[in-house]
Amino acid sequence: MFLTRFQVKERFLAHIQFEKRYSIHTVTAYRTDLDQFFKYILSQYGSESLSGISHFMIRSWLVSLIDQKISPRSVSRKLTTLKSFFRFCLKEGALETNPVSKITSPKTSKRLPVFVEKEKMARLLDQIDFEPGYSGMRDHLILEMFYMTGMRLSELMNLKEQDIDFTRQTIKVLGKRNKERLIPFNPKFSETLNTYLDGKKTMFEGCDQFFLTDKGTKMYPRLIYSIVNRYLSLVTTSEKKSPHVLRHTFATQLLDEGAELNAVKELLGHASLAATQVYTHNTIEKLKRIYKQAHPKA
């Protein structure tokens, strides 16, 4: 059965969303990449067929992106989209050869994860004054939750009261590709969670969503990002002040204190150890600084 380029693209996107269980944000990014690519191929070469796409055309598109000052990291990500798509085309029989097989990714510089130092996090959580009432208590706990658990923004936003097990002192998190994991917490944090829930019930009765807006509705990404950014600005001058920075902080400080890499991998919900190893670079950089400061021959 002959399939048009549009039909193959839609089947591919359905495949990564429902079978591979990619997040909706990843699926949207893949769709955008493919739409941009096909628009370029049509405008430059007048081609609408999959079989007419060559590795020369793909390389031309990548060069055009670089000419537009798109970062090598973003270009590499777009190439990853094409690789996944054309592998799918081969598997589905829509193509006999893979035009991406001869393309190599542009070199990207390794960026160390940005994190907040332990002393600054202590000052933020113990010394900074938060607004009175529910909103201040909620904002403080959002920051502490990111720092204590290493959750992703989407995971925190979708957290429900029933996900907190006070008996076992664990939080159940639904991560990427609907993969569940348990994150432990200590007795002191258990008291913090109970205090928050008591305060929340006086404001909003009968809502299972753990974090709520001031109006009692479900939190949304922009609001959480704004809260984190606002309070991190009080203790750090780093350009990046996002929830992911607190996730980086969680992982980096665990490794600094001697946690095993595999344990940190499980806590973060990473699919592979390679994703977690990036945090070891920060630890190594810290060791280098200590060595230079302390060793008489350094």
How is the chain split into domains, by residue range? Answer: 5-92, 118-294
* Residues designated catalytic: 152, 176, 244, 247, 270, 279
Among the residue ranges 23-32, 126-135, 180-189, 273-282, the one predicted with the least confidence is: 273-282
Per-residue pLDDT, averaged over 24-43, amounts to: 95
Buried b (16+ CB within 10 A) or exposed e, 84-100: bbbebbeeeebbeeebb
pLDDT attached to residue 48 = 82
Residues 119-164: pLDDT tens digits?
Answer: 999 999 999 999 999 999 999 999 999 999 999 999 999 999 999 9
| CA-CA-CA-CA torsion sign (228, 233, 236, 238) | positive
Q: Is the pLDDT of residue 298 over 60?
A: no
pLDDT attached to residue 137 = 97
Return the number of other C-beta atoms located less than 10 Å from residue 107's C-beta.
Answer: 7
pLDDT attached to residue 290 = 64
Computed over every residue of the chain, the mean pLDDT equals: 91
Per-residue pLDDT, averaged over 253-270, amounts to: 92
pLDDT attached to residue 92 = 92
pLDDT attached to residue 78 = 95
pLDDT attached to residue 102 = 84
Q: Is the pLDDT of residue 292 over 80?
A: no
- Within 8 A by CB and 6+ apart from 178, the residues are 21
CA 109 to chain centre: 19
Place of tokens 């204190």: 257
pLDDT attached to residue 295 = 63
Cross-strand partners of 262: none
pLDDT attached to residue 1 = 53
Which strand ranges, in their side-by-side order, compose the sheet holding 170-174? Answer: 164-165, 170-174, 180-184
SS3 of residue 236 by DSSP: coil
With contact defined as beta carbons under 8 Å apart, do 171 and 183 qualify? Answer: yes
C-alpha torsion angle, residues 193, 124, 225, 264 (rounded to 10): -70
With contact defined as beta carbons under 8 Å apart, do 75 and 65 qualify? Answer: yes
Q: Return the axis-axis angle of helices 24-45 and 55-67, rounded to nearest 10°.
A: 100
Q: Is the pLDDT of residue 27 over 90?
A: yes
Cross-strand partners of 174: 180
Residues 190-206: pLDDT tens digits?
Answer: 999 999 999 999 999 88
SS3 of residue 118 by DSSP: helix
**What percent of the chain shows pLDDT beyond 70?**
93
Residues 49-75: pLDDT tens digits?
Answer: 899 999 999 999 999 999 998 988 899
Model pTM score: 0.70
Domain 118-294 has CATH 1.10.443.10: yes
Helices (H), the chain: 5-14, 24-45, 55-67, 72-92, 118-126, 133-149, 153-157, 187-203, 221-232, 243-256, 261-268, 273-294
Q: Is the pLDDT of residue 177 over 90?
A: no
Tell me the pLDDT band of 271, cut-offs 50, 70 and 90: confident
